[in-house]
Chains A and B, each alone.
Chain A
Amino acid sequence: MPQIVENAFGYVGRATLSLLKDLHKIAVLINEVFYWTIISPLKGKPPKFRSTVSEMVKTGYESVLVVVVIAFFVGAILALQSAYQLKKFGAMIYVADLVGVAITRELGPIITAIIIAGRSGSAFAAEIGSMRAQEEVDALVSMGIHPVRFLVVPKLIALMVMQPALTTFFDIVGMFGGYTLAITLLDVNSASYINETIKALQVKDLFTGLVKAWAFGVVITITGAYQGFQVNAGAEEVGRRTTASVVTSIFLVIVFDLFFTALFYYFT
């Protein structure tokens, strides 16, 4: 067989094997996370309350400012962009519909997820990665403390609560941003903008957005934790895995977004 064909087969084979190995590791991690979050509390080993609260403060409370500022700007930008088209038809009042629906159904969950992937997902990977590099994870295991229960479960619960909470903030402030711009620059009447928003929004818009946010929280935590646990040694690897965690989280968030959007499109 010519060398080049052999090399090509070899490459495909090695890539497949390494992919299967990675998938196996991810499956093991998800299994452990599932066990320590849901099964073990039923057996009388509840998650660590204090670390969970502390993670909530770090991932949620400390992200409020950045989420709120970005939400306001995104709302304003969205209002301007939609006005650019709608004014041709003299339908400026529909800016309210567009801003309200786009933010609650789509932009709120996804932009908040991207912010949190960059802020907290990277922090998870860096924290667990440097603990791996300095044998701290091995030390936990040697003390009979499961690293997933000790390190990952508090982060997971924190993000499962905080991701929808931050998304709610984003929704409210984002719509306020659109409203502020519409009543100042676009000369839309304040009361009719509010009325139009209320008319356009349905409970299911808010609900589907928050379900997405919850799922994104899970995706970001597991991706960050997975990348962190893959570190073997060295600061350079911690950096590389941190970057990988952000890129992978954002990619997976968008994949899951497509999945949920399709699901809600057909089933709500």
Chain B
Amino acid sequence: MENAIEVKDLVTFYGERQILKGISFAIPSGTTTVIVGGSGCGKTTLLKHLIGLLRPASGSIHIHGNDIAAMNDVSLDEYRKKMGVLFQGAALLNSMTLAENVALPLKEHTKLKESVIDIIVRMKLDLVGLSGFGEFYPAQLSGGMKKRAGIARAMAMDPGVLYFDEPSAGLDPVTAAGLDELILRLHRVFKMTVVVVTHELPSIFTIADYVVMLDKGDVAFVGKLEDFKLSEKPIVRTFLERRPEEEVYSPDNYFKIITGA
């Protein structure tokens, strides 16, 4: 199977702190891949690299064969037109209605007539189950509906790759399950590559074909979901069995921490 995304030796720093320590992995085309790992392992940073919001200190990120880490701003904007992103809080523009939000990328990047854009917007909103909500403002919607609208906007340009940043964060289990179903359905119908950053086990088991696990800035596991479930690696078992990870202090270190020395 051809790879949609290939990351090689990716290194990132926030100031002095190294976040990603030279990670490499590949994501096959047309799969739903989840990027998992505990808080602070670097998965959101990795997502920001994949969508071109951050430039790496070193390393390459090939997406459909093009290295976005080495692109200039103009080519990067071209790449961005062919991808869709759902941010954690949906990130709809609050000053615009849902229909205007979904229409925004179409108005900016295409020369389509207003009437054609209207039809596309209605189709996209219908796709995520929000027909008739076009004239609502984001503030008038529930969290789940906002995320659905965010997906409609991410789908506006018919992207080849769709990214989700913690789609079930802040949602009740029923709404979260509904969102997982929607992601599955979109993937089935449009055959695109879907990348989801999450740490929700039920979500992972429902939507994933492929898993990339990060741990403290390194890749801990890459492979199919079935292999992930059967993996004997301690870090994978800890994650899957939801065991709390105890921080181990030596007596000396502990003494330093409490005295502040």
Contacts and interface: CB of A to CB of B under 8 A. Distances in A.
Interface in A129-160: 131, 134-136, 138-146
B51 interface: yes
A219 B99 CA distance: 35
Interface string B24-56: 000000000000000000000000000111000
B49 to A, nearest CB: 12
B8 interface: no
Contacts of A144: 77-78, 80-81, 105, 108-109
Nearest to A54: B95
Contacts of B105: 143-145
Nearest to B79: A144
B104 A145 contact: yes
B87 A135 contact: yes
Contact of B91 (A135, A145, A146): A135
A145 B91 CA distance: 14
Contact of B88 (A131, A135, A143, A146): A135
B114 to A, nearest CB: 13
A141 B78 CA distance: 11
Contacts of B127: none
Contacts of B51: 142
Nearest to B77: A144
B94 A136 contact: yes
Contacts of A142: 51-53, 80, 83, 85, 87
B104 A136 contact: no
B40 to A, nearest CB: 16
B108 to A, nearest CB: 5
B104 A143 contact: yes
A134 B104 contact: no
**Residue among A131, A139, A141, A146 with most chain B CB within 10 A:** A139
B59 interface: no
B160 interface: no
B89 A135 contact: yes
A145 B81 CA distance: 9
Contacts of A138: 53, 87, 91
Interface in A87-127: none
Nearest to A138: B53
Interface of A: 131, 134-136, 138-146
Interface of B: 51-53, 77-78, 80-81, 83, 85, 87-89, 91-94, 104-105, 108-109, 153
19 contacts: A131-B93, A134-B89, A135-B91, A136-B91, A138-B53, A138-B87, A138-B91, A139-B85, A141-B53, A142-B52, A142-B80, A142-B87, A143-B81, A143-B105, A144-B77, A144-B80, A144-B81, A145-B108, A146-B77
Given A144-B78, A145-B104, 20 more contacts: A134-B89, A134-B91, A135-B91, A136-B91, A136-B92, A139-B85, A139-B92, A141-B52, A142-B52, A142-B53, A142-B80, A142-B87, A143-B80, A143-B105, A143-B153, A144-B77, A144-B81, A144-B105, A144-B108, A145-B105
